[in-house]
Structure 1
């Protein structure tokens, strides 16, 4: 199954603004992880960017997951790009 890389950006003051949506965000990620779609996801140390790895049947599936996340729906993630990734090792 294809793998995909997600790169995105966070809003300003993300640590404060994400608080109301954090639990729902983490619960959704846990479901994706349990289903085997999400490999890993998290912020850069400076909390300006988000990085994720997915294993899904299509880029559209990953976009659907990202755009259904409370962080996207509430402006915590401000933009994102998805790239199909070839795992060499």
Structure 2
């Protein structure tokens, strides 16, 4: 299993507010099913970060494109494969 850091920079602040509840439900479902390891917002309002688990970049990108924030144009995204240090236990 690979890990991917997905940055979600702010694109439209109003749309981010409008679709926040749906986005949070999406994240919760992803954590429950195991495709999302963790997530959080940037305190300065610049956006957020989601750590996904997946077999490939393509698999994760398909998931990212089902996020209500992406579907509705509230956020952009940038994906980077991430190597998690092995001494952490999640």
Structure 2: state its 5+ residue gaps: none
The TM-score, its normalising length taken from structure 2, stands at: 0.82
The aligned runs of 1:1-89 (5 Å cut-off) are: 1-12=1-12, 14=13, 16-77=14-75, 79-88=76-85, 89=87
Using the TM superposition, give the Cα deviation of residue 8 of structure 1 relative to its aligned residue in structure 2, in angstroms. Answer: 2.6
Kindly report structure 1 stretches of 4+ aligned residues shifted beyond 2 Å.
Answer: 16-20
Contact 1:56 1:62 in 2 (8 A): yes
The two structures, once aligned, show a CA RMSD in angstroms of 1.5
Q: How many residues align?
A: 86
Structure 1: state its 5+ residue gaps: none
Gap change, CA 1:55 and 1:49, over 3 Å in 2: same
SS at match of 2:60: helix
